[in-house]
């Protein structure tokens, strides 16, 4: 069932979703303009001068944990994968639990980029430069994924399926969102994230309630119906639907859960969000509140996925999209009762999710490009803050244009490999580097560089020779088969390698006296906190 058929079934043409999307755009742009007033310093532009309350930052942090891919794919994963999809959704909640352990020490470093956090422990510019490189790579890959999904979703919602329609939507949506990040900075991004949480949470709760009402508010009936439409309870509520019942399939599911748990916890835009807290304890409180909200949200997502399975059936969803990304829209169209209201609300939720996620990634990438590479590595802190903010705005536009170009160029390619690689790189490089930098006295600069660059090479090799790139119908190159690594999700192998490289590199090198002094200073900072914004 296409979007046009859904709209026809609900008695609504594309005008209602289009009008709603335009309204979202106008309101978001006005919010960014108002929030962007006074963003003339580095502290204002990147961290909102660390003025966000714990409650507001908790809502924004919750929004950072709901990217477009999660909103669409998790509903489809539960509807098509049953038990496997529910396990993946639970893993997303556990990822925020990992951040809860790191939030206070990360904020106490006083830094707001990955490169800055790492340099707070190591002397020299190599640490900051390496952190910036990894940040830009991760953000660029995730931007391409999000923009590709954004173009497809926009074209789907508007019922436009002509040649190049999705690419045109990608260009328009991408450039629009990038301009929001350039104007609004952290304050604008935070306001959009808060609005996104309210809209998206309300949408999934409304869909679940309507679906439950059709089952006479009996959850047991809903569960039985979902299983009955998907092959029976024996298969739907047992492992194996997503990756098969083989040993390799089981390991792939475990690897996917590891990717979601560890990769989502330390994404660059999440680190930037934590740095906007007023203090270390405030960052911890915001993370604690976000854990509760994310738990409720993903519980509602699971219920929405089960509602899609009960209302539509796995066959209908898979026939429209084998990966299940359209399940949310199909469910909304089926439950709309001829009004089209639910479909329009879901369209708005998806669009504001795209807007906020892309804006956050763009802001994080520009922070590394402008603050780490330009201001600190190249200019060594010699430029004024106003010039650095101007460079940051220029970096936002350049990074956005490059991302849009790549998203359009690679639009016909499978994005599974890009998403898998970005998440695995985050879990394998950024997480070990942060854990060792914050908590291990023996960590050295050599160990840090081995962790970051070694993990990058390891992830690239495993991904290139895995089934996500070749050997399957959903692979990047479906007509070729040169894979030798068996898992589609590589984190189960790459994360231990990342920790091992950091450990081995540190044992095979010696800490300089300057690094020892820096470590002693860092330990005091982590305990007491650091109020001044990173100016080193």
Q: What is the pLDDT of residue 514?
A: 67
| CB neighbour list of residue 494: distance below 8 Å, 6 or more residues apart | 424, 425, 427, 428, 455, 458, 459, 462
What percent of the chain clears pLDDT 90, i.e. is strictly above it?
Answer: 10
Q: What is the pLDDT of residue 11?
A: 45
pLDDT in tens, 104-154: 888 888 788 888 888 887 777 888 888 899 999 999 999 888 888 878 777
> Taking Cα atoms as reference points, which of 271, 330, 267, 266 lies closest to residue 107?
271
- Cα 347 from Cα 157, distance rounded (Å): 6
Q: What is the pLDDT of residue 536?
A: 44
pLDDT in tens, 162-197: 667 778 888 887 777 777 666 667 777 777 788 888
Q: What is the pLDDT of residue 533?
A: 45
- Single pTM value for the model: 0.88
Q: Look at the block and give the residue holding tokens 């192998």.
A: 493
pLDDT, mean of residues 439-468: 90
Q: Looking at per-residue confidence, does 512 or 5 come out higher?
A: 512
Domain 3-32+52-411, architecture per CATH: Up-down Bundle (1.20)
- Cα 498 from Cα 430, distance rounded (Å): 9
Output the DSSP codes for 406-432.
HHHHTTTS-SHHHHHHHHHHIIIIIHH
Q: What is the pLDDT of residue 453?
A: 94
Q: What is the pLDDT of residue 493?
A: 92
Q: What is the pLDDT of residue 20?
A: 66
What 3-state class would DSSP assign to 470? strand
Q: Looking at per-residue confidence, does 513 or 461 come out higher?
A: 461
- pLDDT exceeds cutoff 60 at 535: no
> Taking Cα atoms as reference points, which of 88, 161, 163, 139 lies closest to residue 326?
161
- Least confident window among 55-69, 217-231, 305-319, 383-397: 383-397
- pLDDT exceeds cutoff 90 at 338: no
Give the DSSP letter of residue 277: B
CA distances from 215 to 209, 221, 301, 335, 410 (A): 10, 6, 18, 12, 43
> Taking Cα atoms as reference points, which of 435, 429, 441 lies closest to residue 518?
441
């Amino acid at each position: 069932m296409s979007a046009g058929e859904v709209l026809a079934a609900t008695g609504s043409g594309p005008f209602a979703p289009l009008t709603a999307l335009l309204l979202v755009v106008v309101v978001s742009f006005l919010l960014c303009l108002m929030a962007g007033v006074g963003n003339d310093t580095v502290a204002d532009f990147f961290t909102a001068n660390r003025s966000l309350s714990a409650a507001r930052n908790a809502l924004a942090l919750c929004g950072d944990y709901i990217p477009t891919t999660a909103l669409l794919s998790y509903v489809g994963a539960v509807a098509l994968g049953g038990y496997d999809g529910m396990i993946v959704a639970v893993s997303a909640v556990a990822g925020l639990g990992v951040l809860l352990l790191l939030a206070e020490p990360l904020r106490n470093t006083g830094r707001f980029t990955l490169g800055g956090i790492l340099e707070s422990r190591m002397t020299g510019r190599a640490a900051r430069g390496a952190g910036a490189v990894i940040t830009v790579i991760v953000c660029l890959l995730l931007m391409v994924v999000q923009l590709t999904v954004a173009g497809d979703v926009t074209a789907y919602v508007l019922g436009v399926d002509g040649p190049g329609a999705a690419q045109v939507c990608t260009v328009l949506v991408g450039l629009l969102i990038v301009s929001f990040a350039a104007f609004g900075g952290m304050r604008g991004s935070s306001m959009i994230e808060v609005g996104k949480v309210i809209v998206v949470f309300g949408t999934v709760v409304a869909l679940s309630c309507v679906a439950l009402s059709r089952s006479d508010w009996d959850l047991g009936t809903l569960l039985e119906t979902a299983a009955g439409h998907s092959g029976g309870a024996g298969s739907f509520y047992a492992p194996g639907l997503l990756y098969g019942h083989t040993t390799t399939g089981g390991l792939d599911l475990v690897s996917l859960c590891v990717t979601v748990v560890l990769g989502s916890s330390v994404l660059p835009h999440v680190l930037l969000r934590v740095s906007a807290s007023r203090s270390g304890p405030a960052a911890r409180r915001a993370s604690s509140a976000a854990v509760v909200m994310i738990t409720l949200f993903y519980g509602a997502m699971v219920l929405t996925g089960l509602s899609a399975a009960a209302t539509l059936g796995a066959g209908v969803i898979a026939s429209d999209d084998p990966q299940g990304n359209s399940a949310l829209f199909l469910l909304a169209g089926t439950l709309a009762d001829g009004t089209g209201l639910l479909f329009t609300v879901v369209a708005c939720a998806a669009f504001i999710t795209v807007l906020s996620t892309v804006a956050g990634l763009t802001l994080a990438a520009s922070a590394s490009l402008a603050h780490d590479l330009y201001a600190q590595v190249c200019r060594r802190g010699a430029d004024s803050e106003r010039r650095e903010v101007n460079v940051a705005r220029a970096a936002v536009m350049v990074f956005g244009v490059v991302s849009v170009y790549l998203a359009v160029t690679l639009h016909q390619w499978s994005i599974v490999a890009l998403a898998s690689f970005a998440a695995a790189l985050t879990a394998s490089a950024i997480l070990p580097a942060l854990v060792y930098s914050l908590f291990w006295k023996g960590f050295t600069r050599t160990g840090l560089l081995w962790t970051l660059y070694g993990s990058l090479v390891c992830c690239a090799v495993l991904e290139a020779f895995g089934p996500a790139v070749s050997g399957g119908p959903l692979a990047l190159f479906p007509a070729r088969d040169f894979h030798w690594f068996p898992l589609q999700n590589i984190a189960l192998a790459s994360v231990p390698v990342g920790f091992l490289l950091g450990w081995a590199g540190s044992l095979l090198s010696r800490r300089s006296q300057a690094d020892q002094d820096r470590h002693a200073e860092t330990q005091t900072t982590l305990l007491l906190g650091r109020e001044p914004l990173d100016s080193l």
